[in-house]
Every structure is written in structure tokens, then in C-alpha cells.
Homo-oligomer: A and B are copies of this chain.
């Protein structure tokens, strides 16, 4: 599929990339509410990523922008010593669109091409505005040191963490009529937004035709965490299309060879039928053979459909779970393990940290997709 990609895309890294993480659109946005971020999930996901990426004790925010309701910037430059170890672990983050972009893309048919049609051209602009809005919010969320906030019916009180703090805690207590909500998180990931359209990604017949991988590698080598996303791009044949985050991940995995790939989603993994159905069985291990065919290894149930059923939301222009599984299988075929896991859970933290790599524990909920051992 990627045969036409320019050979100059092959890049070398001084240290291999540890992990490529997909933040699924359904996990970080409220999928049924237009252009709404799932703030709680994004906070926890950011915190888990920080814990797995950065070992530094010195926690400082890298988002020095003004906060709503304040007139000043909270940035203490004196807190920067030589202790920060940004490049402890090399990661790439790719996110989906969820309730951003999909509406604009499907309404105008950007994925089907036809740039000479005014509606498609307008949809291209509208889609890019929507997905880059989400990208910026995610870059900010990753770069931010979360403030400690305490809210109850009596009011909301927040203050910025000044002391180094290296953990996260989020709890909610319902105490009779009063609800207390504590958020105590600390981030500071050196995230850099790299919008695929701007970064030279384009397709030909919906397959990737070009991608500026040296730019991604340069950002990583410089100690940054590139944050890419599903985007509207030019297509040599049909004019334009939607390049999904999943296809981007497969391309990055193929050329940058990460140790493993984690897909954070809104369900525990891949099921044999829609997970909303009562008898749905979580497929914990899927093996992919060299010819790309995949089979369920665990659990070994006789009544599992060979062809796993999937649900595709009507507005999901990039194919939803079908694309995800087939892209995951193509990554696994390269010898790179893929973990599909529910975002913002203890299971996602274990997958991100690499804890489940050598041996998948029985109490871990998620789907591992691996190449058949020969």
C-alpha cells in the first residue's frame, strides 16, 4: 500500500522510539456531543502518558498561556534547573477526531474527494479548522501541569502546584448533599503539534503518497513529543481525502519501528460482537500471520465468530473499528505488538508503561495483537 512513498523517508534515530500511542477519538471526546472534549479522560490520559514518558521529579508546566479568567501567565522560570529529563522515553502521540471534524467531513464528502466542488472545498477548510482545534487542545493538555482543584456545591477553589509532585490522584466523594471533587495531577510533556496536512502528508488513491518523516524524527531527536492527528489532506488522484489517525500510525510504525503501539479507546478492547451486547466476549489475544490473516488465540471459545462484528458510527468517515483492526494487524505483522485498551483505566497505564509486554497478566483487560510466533 505504501509502495510509492519516497525512499528518503527512511530515517535513523539515535535511540529507538518506545511507543506510538493512539488517543482514540471516542476516548478523548464526547462522541455524541458536537466538538466536546472528554476533559476528565483527557486529564487522566495526559497524566498516565506523563508517568510513562518522564521520570523527572521536577514538574513544571510547558503551557504558559493565559488561563480563562486570569490576566497573567503562570510560569516560574526559576523552577527550571538542569534536572528536567524530557527525552527519557521517546513517544509519538496520534489522535483521532471523535466529535471534531467527522461532522464537517461527512457532511461535505471530503473523504470521497472532488475538490472542484465548492462544498467539498469548503468542507476541507471546515474539517481542518475543527481537527486542528482539537489538536491544539490536546497539545495544551499534555504540556500543562494540572492545578489542584477542589470543588463542591459551596464553590470551586483552585491553585497551581508549586511543589514538585510526581503522582496523580482523582477522586470524587459524594457526601450527603455536598459533592467534593479533587483533581491532583501533574504533567509537563514537551508536546509539539504536527498537523499532517502541514507536515507534507498526502495520499494517492487514499494510500499514503508522501509524509515528512524526517521532520517527525527531528522533533523526537530534539526531545519533543510529536502530536499528529487524523486530517484532511490532498490526494493525487481524487483531489482530497481524510487520512485517518490509524493509517498514520501504521505508516509511522512501519518506518520508525517503535517497540510497541497502544490504541487507547472507549471499550476494553476488541470483542466478538458489539460490546453493548450482553454476551460480547473480549478477545484478549489475536495472532496475525505473515499473509496478514488474523485469528483469535485467547479465549479459545468455539462459538466465536471468525469474522468479528463491529459497529461503525454513521458519522465516522474513516471506518471506525474495521480500519483499526486491519491497521493494527498490519502493524503486528511487522513484529510490533499492538495493545488495544480502554483509556484512563489501570489497564491503559499498564499497557503504556510496557508492563504487560513480556507476559499478559490474567487480570489485565485489553486486546493484544501479535505476529504469529514461528
Contacts and interface: CB of A to CB of B under 8 A. Distances in A.
A65 B35 contact: yes
Interface residues of A, number: 61
B132 A223 contact: no
Contacts of A66: 34-35
| Residue picked from A73, A80, A129, most chain B C-beta under 10 Å | A129
A86 B119 CA distance: 11
B224 A125 contact: yes
Contacts of A200: 199-200, 212, 215
A82 B139 contact: no
Number of copies: 2
A222 B234 contact: yes
Interface string A111-141: 0000101110111111011101100100110
B60 A128 contact: no
A218 interface: yes
Interface stretch (A190-198, A255-263, A275-283): A190-198
B215 A121 contact: no
A155 interface: no
Interface in A20-52: 33-35
Contact of A129 (B115, B143, B195): B143
A222 B128 CA distance: 15
A81 interface: yes
A236 to B, nearest CB: 11
Contacts of A128: 192-193
A193 B81 CA distance: 35
Which residue, A34, A130, A198, has most C-beta atoms of chain B within 10 A? A198
